[in-house]
Structure formats: C-alpha cells, structure tokens
Homo-oligomer: A and B are copies of this chain.
Amino acid sequence: MQIAFAPDELRTVLQPLRVQGGTTEIIRGIAALGEAVPGDLSFLSNPKYRPDVPGSKASVVLLPESYQGEPGPNQMYLRVANTSVAVAQLCTRLEQAMWPRPEAGVHPSAVVDPAAVVAATATIGPLCVVEAGAKIGERCYLQAQNFIGRGARVGDDCWLMAGSLVATECVLGDRVRLQPGAIVGADGFGYDFLQGKHVKIPQVGTVVLGDDVEIGANTTLDRARFSSTYIGEGSKLDNLVQVGHNVKMGKHCLIVSQAGIAGSTTLADYVVLGGQVGVAGHLELGKGVQVGAQAGINTSWPAGTTLRGTPAMPYMDEQRITVLRNRLPDLFKRVAELEKKLG
C-alpha cells in the first residue's frame, strides 16, 4: 500500500486516551500482532492475543487501558477506549485514501446516450456505457467499464466497481455496491420443450435491489420471467453467487460465496446461506433460517431453523446421523458377531 501515516497524524485521527513511547517509522500497513513488521500498526481487540503484544514488531500498537505493559524501543502504544472502533476509524480513513471520491462528471471516453439522465454530482468513469432512458442518481460512482442498460435506474450514492453491469430496466436502490464483474439482470433460465427442442421463454421482468444491498464479484442475478427478482434492503451477497429468476429475498440476508438459489424461491429476512449451498426452486425459507456450507435444500423450512447436509435437515438430526454413519464399520462388526452367536 502507498498509504503513509506519520505517528502524529495517527494521534490526530485516533485521539488516544494516552500515549506511551514513540516511533520514527511511517505507518504503511496494518497487521496482526504476530505478523507485523516495523512500519506496521497493530492492535489488541480479542484478549486471547494478549501474549502476542510484548513480542510484536509493530511500530504502533493500539491497546485498551486495561493492558499492562510498556512499548519496546522505537515503538508507540496508543491507549484507546475501544480498539475495534479505533481500527474501524483508521480503516475508513485508509478506504478513503485507496478509493478517493472522484470528481463528478462524465469521463470523455464513456459512451452516455443523450437520452440517459445522469445526476450532476455523479461520476461516470472511463469506458462506461449508459444506454438510453437509464438514470444514474446523485453522487454515484461508476468506476470504469460499467454497463447500464436501457431504462435501468441506479439510486443515489451507489458504487459500481469496474466491469459491473446493470442490464435493461433493472433497478438499484440507494447506497448499493456492486463488486467487479457483478451482473444484475441476465436472462432467467427458462425454456419450453417443444418438438424435441428447448424454446426460449422470453424473460421480460427485471431485477430490483433494495437500499444498502451489496453484490459480490462475478455474482449473477437473473431477471424475472415477468415482474421482478427482488433482493431486500441490506442483504449482502458474496462472490460467484447465483440467484435465479423470480427469487424474492428479504432484508439483511447473508449469502456466502458460490451459493445458488433456484427460480421462484422466497427467503424471508435475516436468512444466512453458507458457501456453496444450493436451494431448489419454488421453496420458502422462513425468517432467520441458517444453512451450513455445501448443504442442499430440497424442501421449505420454517423460521429459525438451522440446517445442514444434503438433503438438508435440522442441525441436530444431521449431526447425529453423521456420527452414526461414521460408526458403521463398528455396527457391521457387531451384527456379524450377533449372527455368529445365533449360528
């Protein structure tokens, strides 16, 4: 990173309760206590890492007041009320340095249709395409090479990283983030089988993302057959996730990488799907359902269920069966023994 904080600057940003020692190093990175090298800042938030503090090579260490100890040579301890909050402050500062708010305006290499509406405060980066009828809201940042299709609407304060795409007529709420390569509005996968051929069913619906949704890199969201595929406010999707047509996802769901949700399935609020989970089509998962990694869901489940396995079942059942399955070699022996006894 080309980030550089002088020790004095850190004191200004973090407003520590107390300072011990000092360092001549410029801070160029953040690292765990045990991995840090001179020039790094580190911190103690989880008490189990307390023994790593004295030997840490970090030039600056953020510590709670409760920690007992003195810095080494050319090392500075900053005592703060809450180390996690202090690290977050610093990371936000770093984030602003890494992705500075670009100036508003349309890059001359971007291709913006005259019939598109771009807010004066928005930034359209190099080599973006914005088609006719599209609307880009206030303070949006399209990083580069984005595609916004005909009639699509992007709310205010959205960040679209390079190469992410919003297809025809799709709608983004406010503060939506698309990671690179995210695709909002591919065609749903629907065909009629007629005379030995799969004939495409037109997919003329859209995708609608609520406010504060984040979509991971190369994740694909299919447009509805008609009406909308919907992702509720505050839901976060990781990379390489697949969302089929007409899926309705509630608010504040977490969908971990490479999970897939087949068409017309409904997820209530606060559902969590682990990595590589598959959910079949036309199902309903109730509020707060939690699904372990790689599970396969082939039926609906009520609110609050914790699921695991393929086909998925409640965690305790699955756990018990997995344990017994692993004792099969023993069971076969016991049965053979019984058979011997009974002649």
Query: What is the interface of chain A, defined by CB distance below 8 A to chain B?
Result: 1-3, 29-32, 35, 88, 91-92, 94-95, 98-99, 107, 109, 111, 125-127, 129, 131, 133, 143-145, 147, 149-151, 161-163, 165, 167-169, 177, 179-181, 183, 186-187, 189, 191, 196-198, 200-206, 212, 214, 216-218, 220, 222, 225-227, 234, 236, 238-240, 242, 244, 252, 254, 256-258, 260, 262, 275-276, 278, 280, 293-294, 296, 298, 310-311, 313, 320-322, 324-329, 331-332, 334-335, 338-339, 341-342
Contact = CB atoms under 8 A, between A and B. Distances in A.
Given A2-B151, A196-B252, A29 B239 contact: no
A98 B258 contact: no
In the complex, the 4 A-B pairs of residues with the closest C-beta atoms, listed nearest first: A186-B217, A30-B226, A91-B202, A94-B204
Contact of A169 (B98, B186, B322, B328): B98
Contact of A242 (B149, B196, B240): B240
A308 B204 CA distance: 33
28 contacts: A2-B133, A29-B227, A91-B204, A91-B226, A94-B202, A94-B226, A98-B151, A127-B129, A145-B147, A163-B183, A165-B181, A189-B236, A191-B254, A197-B234, A198-B234, A218-B220, A222-B239, A239-B242, A242-B258, A262-B275, A275-B280, A278-B293, A280-B293, A320-B329, A321-B325, A321-B326, A331-B331, A338-B338
